[in-house]
Structure 1
Amino acid sequence: MSIESILKNRYSARAFLDKPVAKETLDLIFAHAQLSPSNCNVQPWQTCVVSGQTKDTLKQKFMETLM
């Protein structure tokens, strides 16, 4: 696959469904993300995954902050 092909075919998802994502899917996403390059190979990202009441509370606080 060429760089041109990758750039022309990339997209950003903007619609989010209010349905759970399977743990296996998240595990696969994070396993692949660990392979991505970063500046000086420092891998500066951190990930937090929440669900249930914790997710609902954070969602509400984010909405209050944005309003």
Structure 2
Amino acid sequence: SGIWPLLSVILLPDNLKVIGTILATLWALFLTGWLSAWAGRAPIIPAILRNIFTGVLTMAFTYWLGTLFK
């Protein structure tokens, strides 16, 4: 699942890298949530939402932490 954000960083032009990487990461979070629910025969929507929520929260915290060390 990490291939999508990596490809966005490698392939997108500089002016689209940030938004493209965010969107690619959201796509990867969606896919891993769906696949984990499917593999575990669990409800799919809660797994996807939980994965996206924790991923976005983690990205926001990491971004905030990075701003402290500029």
**Do Structure 1 and Structure 2 share a fold, with TM-score over 0.5?**
no
Q: Which has the higher helix share?
A: 2
TM-score by length of 1: 0.32
User: Quick one: higher RCO (CA 8 Å, sep 6+), 1 or 2?
Assistant: 2
Structure showing greater radius of gyration is 1
